[in-house]
Amino acid sequence: MTIAAEPLAVRRRPLARAFGFVRRHALTAYALLAFVYLLVPVAVVVAFSFNSPKGRFNYTWQGFTLNNWIHWDAVPGIRSAIKISLEIAAISSICATVLGSLIALALVRYGFRGRGATNFLIFLPMSTPEIVLGASLLTLFLTMNIATGFLTIVIAHIMFNISYVVVTVKARLVGFDRHLEEAAMDLGANGWTTFWRVTLPLIAPGILAALLLTFALSVDDFVITNFNAGTTVTFPLFVWGAARAAVFPQINVIGTAIFAVAIITMLANIVFQNRRSRRTA
Amino acid sequence: MTFLHRYRRLAPYVLLGPGLAWLALFFVAPLGFLGHQSLQTQDPIALTYTFKWAWHNYSDALTTYHTQLLRSFEYAGLATLLALAISYPLAYWIAFRGGRWKNVLLLCIVGPFFVTYLIRTLAWETILADQGFVANLLRHLHVLGANGRLLATSTAVVAGITYNFLPFMALPLYVSLEQIDQRLIEAAEDLYASRTIAFLRVTLPLSLPGVFAGTLLTFIPASGDFINAQLLGTPNQTMIGNVIQSKFLELTDYPAAAALSFILMATILVLVGLYARALGTEKLTG
């Protein structure tokens, strides 16, 4: 493992070496088991999207079929639920990313009174149980006589997403070299040009990551949405309703599709980053 | 940014303004309304609410639901410990043995959590089902009695919570382990520390910020969760989240639900404070 430790390893007794070997591989075996544990439920979701169930529930394997994929919108309500989820995710992730990136910019670039308090305020929603966030928003809407629905879900999603944006973009900004901006200014660029041509491209990966993360969080959210949805049905709410009456294999189809999109996006990101680091190295 | 340079003292507030206003309106203010609601009383006939400084809502809620409250923290605590036990070796392995596959291996941890929460939990329902493969195998091995069940038990609920919040534990652990300067461990070994001692005296203390962050990020959402108890448990596994949820959305007993929400939040804050003191956050963050 390390150059310095090599001579020591050679001098070790055979028993100790065998023990080291076992221990080394025990860790690997443990890690592999942990991966199995992590991935088995995913495999179940994917496999049961190809199941052709008898009756209302999709719990036991009955046989392979592609029907669920071909007729993915055969269940009444699933199509509109997905559409609503995607719309809410798009609006809320864009709004939260704008609001959150501005906060991150202020926090990293400026010393100002109330910085500690701001950091604390950003941290609080992430450390409050979702059920409390959802319940308190519902209380606000009830007191103010605001009917819950599409708009209130968007408001709620922007609220819980802002903190995640701040954390993600801040992480990117901390490693940011201020001298690059100063150099641009020295070379005669004005404030706007510097911002658009230097600052923004440098923090763009952080902003993109925040956008994707908040989109995913929004599509997945159940607890807060459940409190503030009124009669609007998002995809997780649809699944919840279905879980009580009948579980359709179509639910697994959509679950698999969302999973596939997320994985492909992240793999593309890894490949892209690897290429870039190889080019700069 | 000259336009910002000119108004340097105002600039941060302009940038912060919209976002913080949003949080003030839709995070801070609602908590105030929730507090207000928790001190109201409900007229049993007209079903209207009046504000009366009804502190008894809190004591009533505690006497009626202390079982569920304690159970929530018990389940959340167990799930946090389990998640730590599973994630630490895993994060360690990826950080020190992952090599060029680190990112792909991390994807294996994060990936499952892009399957919608509810669908993932329903998958556990399938895996633990009475006639499922796991239950049958355990019955065959006599670990489980002939009529023994996996589903609808505390074990199922804790297992579900552990699974659902695992990345919140694994990712901070990985980040703190990954940052450790390998030369420190080499130095310890050069100074004749055994591997175990080097781990206990160098690696483990350096990874404590990750342990701290991970346990909090797992414990807090876990203690407010109600989905696992609902889908994988029975009324005997009801957690405080289930009570709050049904009081708010089914029984419209808002004052009691609001009081319970505050009790949950306050208990979490106290526990986190004690935990931070026990672990010594000054050492961790400083």
Report pLDDT digits (tens) over B177-212. 888 888 888 888 888 877 788 788 888 888 888 888
Position B1 confidence tier, pLDDT thresholds 50, 70, 90: very low
Range list for CATH 1.10.3720.10 in chain A: 76-247
User: For a pLDDT cut of 70, what percent of chain B falls above it?
Assistant: 93
Under a CB-based contact definition with an 8 Å cutoff, are residues B239 and B71 in contact?
yes
pLDDT of residue A128: 86
pLDDT of residue B116: 85
Angle at A90 between CA A87 and CA A91, to 5 degrees: 85
Distance from CA of A204 to the nearest CA of B (A): 17
**Contacting residues for B284 by C-beta, under 8 A, at least 6 apart:** B208, B209, B212
Interface contact flag, B19 A105, Cβ < 8 Å:
no
The encoded tokens of residue A47 equal 């496999």
Burial B136-172 (b: 16+ CB within 10 A, else e): eeebeeeebeeeebbbbbbbbbbbbbbbbbbbbbbbb
Find, in chain B, the residue whose alpha carbon is nearest to that of A166.
B19
The mean pLDDT value of chain B amounts to 83
Q: CATH for A76-247?
A: 1.10.3720.10
Higher per-residue pLDDT: B12 or A258: A258
What's the residue count for chain B? 286
Q: Taking Cα atoms as reference points, which of A48, A79, A52 lies closest to residue A238?
A: A79
Cα distances from B205 to residues B121, B163, B278, in angstroms, run 34, 26, 14
pLDDT of residue B75: 92
**Contacting residues for B257 by C-beta, under 8 A, at least 6 apart:** A135, B243, B244, B247, B248
Chain A residues inside the 8 Å CB shell of B254: 139, 142
Interface contact flag, A199 B1, Cβ < 8 Å:
yes
Q: What backbone phi and psi angles, to 5 degrees, belong to B41?
A: -120, 155
Interface contact flag, B89 A106, Cβ < 8 Å:
no
Separation of alpha carbons A115 and A277, rounded Å: 34
| Residue B40, helix vs strand vs coil | strand
Higher per-residue pLDDT: B154 or A21: B154
Tens of pLDDT, residue by residue over B239-279, are: 888 888 888 888 778 888 889 999 998 888 888 888 878 77
Q: Taking Cα atoms as reference points, which of A155, A230, A138 lies closest to residue B257?
A: A138
Tens of pLDDT, residue by residue over A75-88, are: 778 888 889 999 99
Distance from CA of A127 to the nearest CA of B (A): 6
Q: Taking Cα atoms as reference points, which of A4, A227, A175 lies closest to residue B30?
A: A227
- Chain A segment 60-99 residues within 8 A of B by beta carbon are 60, 99
Tens of pLDDT, residue by residue over A86-117, are: 999 999 999 999 999 989 888 887 777 788 88
Under a CB-based contact definition with an 8 Å cutoff, are residues B279 and A146 in contact?
no
Q: Are strands B40-42 and B49-51 parallel, antiparallel or unpaired?
A: antiparallel
Question: With an 8 Å Cβ cutoff, is A37 touching chain B?
Answer: yes
Find, in chain B, the residue whose alpha carbon is nearest to that of A112.
B12
Question: With an 8 Å Cβ cutoff, is B44 touching chain A?
Answer: no
The mean pLDDT of A180-206, rounded to a whole number, is 81
B102 Cα distance to chain centroid: 25
Find, in chain A, the residue whose alpha carbon is nearest to that of B232.
A243
| Residue B225, helix vs strand vs coil | coil
Tell me the residue type at A255.
G
Judged against a pLDDT cut of 60, whether residue A280 lies above it is answered with yes
Separation of alpha carbons B65 and B67, rounded Å: 5
Chain A residues inside the 8 Å CB shell of B261: 131-132, 135-136
Under a CB-based contact definition with an 8 Å cutoff, are residues A135 and A97 in contact?
no
Question: With an 8 Å Cβ cutoff, is B7 touching chain A?
Answer: no
Distance from CA of B142 to the nearest CA of A (A): 22
The encoded tokens of residue B134 equal 């796991």
Interface contact flag, A99 B22, Cβ < 8 Å:
yes
pLDDT of residue B6: 59
Judged against a pLDDT cut of 50, whether residue B35 lies above it is answered with yes
The residues that bridge with B49 in the sheet, in sequence order, are: B42
Locate tokens 């105002």: which residue? Answer: B10
Domains along chain B? 67-285 (1.10.3720.10)
The mean pLDDT of B225-243, rounded to a whole number, is 85
Tens of pLDDT, residue by residue over A50-63, are: 877 766 666 677 77
Establish how many alpha carbons lie within 13 A of residue B203's alpha carbon, considering only the half-sphere containing its beta carbon: 23
Query: How many Cβ pairs within 8 Å bridge chains A and B?
Result: 252
Cα distances from B153 to residues A64, A159, B157, in angstroms, run 31, 35, 7
Tens of pLDDT, residue by residue over B85-106, are: 999 999 988 888 877 888 888 8
Q: ipTM score of the complex?
A: 0.84
Find, in chain A, the residue whose alpha carbon is nearest to that of B266.
A128
